[in-house]
Amino acid sequence: MKTKFSILLFLISCVSFSQIEEKKLDELIQNTLKTFDVPGMSVGIIKDGKTIYSKGFGVRSLNTNQEMTDETLVGIASNSKGFTATALAILADEGKLNFDDKVSKHIPEFQMNDAYVSQQITIKDLITHRAGLGLGQGDLMFFPEGGTLTVDDIIYNVRYLKPENSFRSTLDYNNIMFIVAGEIIHRVSGLSWSEFIEQRILKPVGMTSSYGSYNNAKTANVSNIIDAHAPIDGKAVAVPHDWNETANAAGGIISNIKDMNTWAEFLMNGFTTKEGTKLVSDKQIYQLWNLQIATPVSFKNAYNSNFGGYGLGWFLTDVEGHKQVYHTGGLIGTVTQFTLIPDMKLGIVILTNQQSGAAFSTITNTIKDSYLGIEDRNWLTQYDERMTKRNAEFEKEKQDIYSKSDAFKKDKKNQIKNEQILGTYTDDWFGDVLILNEGNTLRISCKTSPRLKGELVPYTSNVMIAKWDDRSYDADVFVNFQFDENGKAQGMTLKPISDITDFSFDFEDLDLKKN
């Protein structure tokens, strides 16, 4: 998952390599690690059907200081979406489904909030981010890791998500619909999503070190795998892996640069394996890489792009007259980027163990510029200056809010009293949230997301701040209580205190009512 600001960066800047001198690229990567405090990164380049660069830099974990190599496994996060779309294409070629099938044909109990949409929504709608749900809406059902809701629970609870947009009108990035698509793969094939991906894609393609889920990688006792890292108090530290198995179809694959280079080669070779087996027909490839829903493109942009949008599981745009197929991925403590320019037979892969999108964009854009014949634009300096400014703004914003909270703590008379708000609050799709006393501390705890718990501190006469125990989340929220005429809380809403908060913490979509 990525912050609201980072997702914007990804969409407008993950777009640029001719031959770049190997030593120069090595130095750039090392400097990028230092500049953005990224412990480890691996980089791969495919050109004309051959791997011409495949290296790891830094360490895979600050806990062990073991080196990062091109064989180090990383969660590729939302770059898994292209695999989900490919799996559906394989099943379409086998006549077991059609991208225009109604979702209800394969999951009869599936419902959206609107009856018409429930009847009309198709598989294609699920994997093009055009179902009407907002950015990250519903992600709290699986994010952060450790949630109790099952895939069946998530599919049932979709009916309670009130769409932010009309059906098929806009592209709003959403993971929940990919979970539904993954369940279709399960029901049609008889295999779990991860089993299908491993047996029908990873193995035939030759991605011999990759896994369809983090649990499968751990079961195999792999040792060369990253720890995730996130900034806490301005310094990257190792944090727990964060991805629920329920959301594998949206972002669960574990891979490395060697295998992702193989994936890039397979895709640019017409979805054909090294042994000559074509896994997906041209008819289906056309759908995967054809624009299904467009997004606005600014008149002035880094690559003179004229269009942008989403195919089936892939972002699409043009860069200096060349079609680009790409995606990014983000978990807490990990971000990745995958870029193809098919007519140039160029593929660029970046895997990292820290959540800096500026780091991977620096490398990708420099590589692309080299191949596109663009003079060095010093992307490292550009992103460093941009992120330094933005991070300073975010930190000031947060510190001003915390300072206001500290000052209000002295105003005992106007603070919310514990007895006004203690109890259980329920949201239809997320479940119960508890406000309780633990010792002398007022606490908030989410029943279906046990790791999402923290301290409540005063802010105004009707608002408190939830400061989550896990500070790597960087997702503290305003908790706005609604009171009746007797001063008793009847409900509450949540809102992040800063735009730096990852969009998958979709607190603003909750409508919590007191039991």
Domains of the chain, by residue range, sit at 4-53+71-99+169-377, 410-514
Note the CATH number of domain 410-514: 2.40.128.50
- Which sign does the torsion angle of CA 312, 318, 324, 330 carry? negative
User: Residue 440: pLDDT band by 50, 70, 90 thresholds?
Assistant: confident
Asked if 297 and 307 touch (Cβ cutoff 8 Å), the reply is yes
DSSP symbol at 418: H
Burial 178-187 (b: 16+ CB within 10 A, else e): bbbbbbbbbe
4-53+71-99+169-377 topology per CATH: Beta-lactamase (3.40.710)
Query: Residue 10 pLDDT > 70, yes or no?
Result: no
Do domains 4-53+71-99+169-377 and 410-514 share one topology? The answer is no
DSSP symbol at 20: P
Lowest-confidence segment of 229-233, 364-368, 428-432 by average pLDDT: 229-233
For residue 439, the one-letter residue type is G
Mean pLDDT across the chain: 94
Asked if 474 and 355 touch (Cβ cutoff 8 Å), the reply is no
| Digit-coded pLDDT (tens) for 94-135 | 999 999 999 999 999 999 999 999 999 999 999 999 999 999
pTM: 0.94
State what percent of residues in the chain have pLDDT above 70. Answer: 97
| Digit-coded pLDDT (tens) for 323-349 | 999 999 999 999 999 999 999 999 999
Alpha helices, DSSP H, located in 190-234: 193-196, 203-205, 214-219
As given in the structure block, the two tokens for residue 307 are 């269009």
Helix (H) or strand (E) holding 316: strand 315-319
As given in the structure block, the two tokens for residue 25 are 């690229």
How confident is the model over 7-30, as a mean pLDDT?
66
As given in the structure block, the two tokens for residue 395 are 């930190």
339: closest CA among 369, 379, 373? 369
Query: Residue 224 pLDDT > 80, yes or no?
Result: yes
Residue 274 neighbours by CB distance under 10 Å:
13
pLDDT at 20: 83
Query: Residue 11 pLDDT > 50, yes or no?
Result: no
- Residues 497 and 304: their CA atoms lie apart, in Å, by 35
pLDDT at 17: 40
For residue 336, the one-letter residue type is T
| Digit-coded pLDDT (tens) for 379-395 | 999 999 999 999 999 99
DSSP symbol at 139: G
User: Residue 15: pLDDT band by 50, 70, 90 thresholds?
Assistant: very low
